[in-house]
Structure formats: C-alpha cells, structure tokens
Chains A and B, each alone.
Chain A
Amino acid sequence: MASASTDVLRFDNVTVRFDEQPVVDRVSFVLGAGESRIVLGEAGAGKTVLLKTALGLIRPDAGRVYLFGRDITDLKEKELFAVRQQVGILFQEGALFDSQTVEENVAYPLLNQAKRSLSRDDIDGIENKVLRALEFVELGHTLEKFPSELSGGMRRRVGIARATVTEPPLVLYDSPTAGLDPITANTIMALLVKERDIRNTSSIVVTHRYQDGQIMANFRSDGADGKLVPDPGRTDTVFMVMREGRLIFEGSQKELEASPDAYVRKFVRR
C-alpha cells in the first residue's frame, strides 16, 4: 500500500502480542505533518506499547508501521537507528541514564548522531545545543547534576530536553505529566505547546489527564516566554482513546465530548 509522503506516522492494522495476549489490537491511524495526537486510556491499555512500536523498539506481530512514509516493520535494528534519529521520545519514567550527568544525558543523542554520520559535529556545537535544549526547559543551571539529584518534574523536563535536542520532526511523549502536581503538570504542557509551536513538530502525547489534551487543542505558545494564550480556531489536535489494546475512539475534542460511549466519557471532564 502506498502512503502519502506527508504522513509522519502510519499504523496499518497493527497487532502486538505478549504471551499470546494482544496488547495492541488491530490498530490503524495516520498522523499527519504538524498534527498532535492525544492518546487516552486506562493503565494497561497498551499506550506505551503503541509508542514503542512506532519506533521499532517493539516489533508488531501483524500489520505494518510506516515512519515518514517508510515501512519500518521489517527493518534491521541497525537500519532503524537512522530512522529513529528523526523521532524524539520521552519515556514514561524519564529513563534518564542515571550513571550520567544531565549534560551527558542530553548530549547523548547528539554524540551518537555525530558518530554515526562521521561528520563530527564539533564539541562546541554540541555543547551549545545541549545548553539551548536545557534552557528551553528552564534547566540551564543543572548541567553537572545527576538525575537522582533532581525532582520528578525536573527529571521529566530533562527527558524532554533529551527528546528534542536533535530537533526531530516527530516527538512521542509517554505520560509527560503523570505523577506531577497540577502546577508542574501545566508547566510541562506549556513546554510541549512551545515545542510544537516554535518548531512545528508533530507529536503523540500519551496521558491520563484530559486537561493535557485540552491545553494542546486550545492554546498556543506566545513568544519566547512560552506563556499559553487561548487559540480557539485550532484543528490540529486529534484525540484517541485506547481500551484493552483497541483504538475505540479517534476524533476532535468536540466529537470526543459528544461521544455516547461510556468508557470514552469517563475520560472527558468538563
């Protein structure tokens, strides 16, 4: 099946099984360029597995996955590395390397890319990019700290810096606000919106908080200070709801709020 070149990510009837049990079950969707997808669903619904499958970290048992129009389903791990350079990912618990400082963590993908392309980005260039990425998440002062010395919210922000330092066109966020207080959670969402608006990235945001989706769907980032301002006309945010591996809802915020499905309604708060 040919896929339009503007598609950033495309799932075609993808199934992932663990111990015979499907945890992602015949899921199909297309993420267009510049689009944001909010993935809702209870614990164990398969959201994390979905994100990892998008990167080729988990291989589907059936169906195909296309990244930037390229079928990655059967690519070898070595070939996947080149594709993954185009994607940033924030893992659920941050997954910072705890033997490395914040600076080394954020520099890690850059150093890897420099090694791979052999174009030897000079060290200054990398240092600058790292500093800029950390200043973006307002953590420019923590370079020498280790992840264990940071608060949960700070770790999450370092994770965002690491995911976006290579300026990938697609960023996957796994529960960026989980376990954070509402104030910190909103700060994190403001960062995600800022990232989207400054660099025009496509993204998938897995979350338990309906509010996170509302922020993505109805606000834009205002200037360099990253304040959120209402932006009612937006249509680039699509909501998806997963239940036991199935994609049971896909549509706009309006459609979501109008959904008669009892399970879907549980995620909607007004």
Chain B
Amino acid sequence: MLDFLKKPIQSLQDFVILAGKAVRNVVRKPHYFDDIAIQADVIGVGSLPIVVLTGFFSGAVMALQMSKALSQYGASGQVGQIVSITLVRELGPVLTALLVSGRNASGIASELGSMKVTEQIDAMRALGTDPVQKLVTPRLIATSAMLPILTILSDFIGLFGGYLMACVLLKLTTSTQYWTTAYRALDFQDVVQGLAKPFIFGIIIALVGCFEGLRTSGGTQGVGRATTAAVVTASVWVFVIDLIITQIFVSMPAW
C-alpha cells in the first residue's frame, strides 16, 4: 500500500548511513589533511567574491528598504539595529548557505558523480581507500568550517553596505549611531544562532552534495541530474533547518 513511500524512505536511510560514516571518520585514521586543505580553499576562498558581493548588496538594500519604513515612525536612527539583527540572525547565514549550495553542493555532486560513472570510486575501493574517508569527510569538514567564516564575513560586509546606504547616501543617521545601535542590538544568543546556523548548513550542503554525487548512475546525463538534485535538495533543507533552528532559539529563554 505505502509503496510510494518506499523510495524516499530508502534514500533517507542511505543518507543517514552516509552521514554516520562521514561523521565517524572525522575522528578516525587515516586523515586526508591535503584533501581538507584543498576543499577549504575551493569552498572558502573560491566563494569569497560572490559572498562579499551579495553580502554588500543585501545590507545596502536592507537599509534602503528600512529607511522608508523607519522614517514613517521617526525612527530612522534605528536602521543600524534592524540591519544588524536581520543580517546576523537570518539573512547572512541563509543567503551565504544558498550561495554555497549553488556553488559547492553542485560542484561536489558533479565531481563525485563523474568519478562514480567513470568507475573512479570503484577504483579507489579496489586500490584500498574508503571513498567516504577520502572524499566525503574532507568536504564535510571543509564546508562546515568555512561556511561560518564566510557568514561572519558576509555579515560584516552587509553591515558595511548598510552603513554606506544609511549614513553616506541617505544620511539617515550618524555613523557613530549606526555602528553603536548595530553593535548593541546583538546579544550573545544572536551570535550563537548566527554561527550555529551556518555550521549546520555546511554539514547539510556537503553531505547532500556527496550523497547525490555518490549515488549517480546513468552516465553523463546522470551527473547532470545529480548536480541539479544536489542544489535543489540542499537549498530546501537550508530553509527547513533554518526554521527549526530559529524556532529553537525563539523558544529559548534569554541568556
């Protein structure tokens, strides 16, 4: 009867198994530090330009949007606060995660997918390496480490974009007021939330990319399908996890 559920449940199960193996391998030998470094470079440094650009514009556009709403209440001095809260809690982590899943979930899936269809994954196993250890775990470590860093960067650039818009262009408020309200608006909990999110998003993005890549079948066409599936799945999960984490933090008593 529930036959239509069989496939998704099977996939979920496979995903959880892969995730378990990949996480367990973090503390197991052999460690492939070279691969971690290469992936950190690809994911972290490689994503810098796009993260900086979008971070800047999202901060600026936020300030612009808020300028009108806030001035209606005569509260345009609060623009720094609004920009900083939305960026740190929500926009920074989610936007960065979406960009990185577009760039790297797809990159990971297509790389591992082509290795799969050209039997390179089988070759690895035949020659004595565990593909999860060699391919998945380094990507997991690199993504979950780089995404929080990218997010912090994006938050700052966003605040700077907001500052340029609010203080230099629109002259809504003084720069001292902008930066003080922005700083004061954040409590420790916001910072934790703003870092926990990208850390978990990073795990999801890496695992989804690897999962879709490793289960690729059907030649080059299959690689294309895996790449698309990885981006779509990772992006949707980013939103779902975002809601869950936000809910947890909202219902938490203030520290």
A-side residues, CB < 8 A to B, are 52, 55, 57, 77-78, 81, 84-85, 87, 89, 91-93, 95-98, 108-109, 112-113, 115-116, 162
Q: For A115, list chain B residues within 8 Å (CB).
A: 30
Bitwise interface map of B from 87 to 131 toward A, beta carbon under 8 Å scored 1, else 0: 000000000000000000000000000000011101111111110
> Are B126 and A57 closer than 8 Å at their CB atoms?
yes
Of B119, B120, B122, B129, which contacts A112 at CB under 8 A?
B129
Q: Which residue of A lies closest to B132 (CB)?
A: A77
Additional A-B contact list (13), CB under 8 Å, known A57-B122, A91-B119, A108-B127: A81-B130, A84-B127, A84-B128, A87-B126, A92-B119, A95-B120, A95-B123, A98-B118, A109-B127, A112-B128, A112-B129, A115-B30, A162-B127
Report how many residues on chain B are interfacial, defined by Cβ distance under 8 Å. 13
B195 CB, nearest partner CB in chain A, Å: 32
B20 CB, nearest partner CB in chain A, Å: 14
> Are B122 and A52 closer than 8 Å at their CB atoms?
yes
Q: For B119, list chain A residues within 8 Å (CB).
A: 91-93, 95
Given contacts A91-B119, A93-B119, A97-B120, contact A109 B125 (CB under 8 A): no
> Are A93 and B125 closer than 8 Å at their CB atoms?
no
With most chain B CB atoms within 10 A of its CB, the pick from A81, A85, A87 is: A81
Q: Which residue of B lies closest to A116 (CB)?
A: B128
Bitwise interface map of B from 133 to 162 toward A, beta carbon under 8 Å scored 1, else 0: 000000000000000000000000000000
Closest 5 A/B residue pairs (Cβ) = A112-B128, A95-B119, A95-B123, A109-B127, A91-B119
> Are A95 and B128 closer than 8 Å at their CB atoms?
no
Q: Can you report 19 residue pairs joining A to B where beta carbons are below 8 Å apart? A: A55-B126, A57-B122, A77-B125, A84-B126, A87-B126, A89-B123, A91-B122, A91-B126, A95-B118, A95-B119, A95-B122, A95-B123, A96-B120, A97-B124, A108-B127, A109-B128, A112-B127, A112-B128, A115-B30
Bitwise interface map of B from 34 to 69 toward A, beta carbon under 8 Å scored 1, else 0: 000000000000000000000000000000000000
With the chains together, A250 CA to B160 CA distance in Å? 76
Of B120, B122, B125, which contacts A98 at CB under 8 A?
B120
With the chains together, A91 CA to B130 CA distance in Å? 18
Q: Which residue of A lies closest to B120 (CB)?
A: A95
> Are A57 and B125 closer than 8 Å at their CB atoms?
yes
Q: For B30, list chain A residues within 8 Å (CB).
A: 115
Bitwise interface map of B from 161 to 185 toward A, beta carbon under 8 Å scored 1, else 0: 0000000000000000000000000
Q: For A108, list chain B residues within 8 Å (CB).
A: 127
With the chains together, A109 CA to B129 CA distance in Å? 9
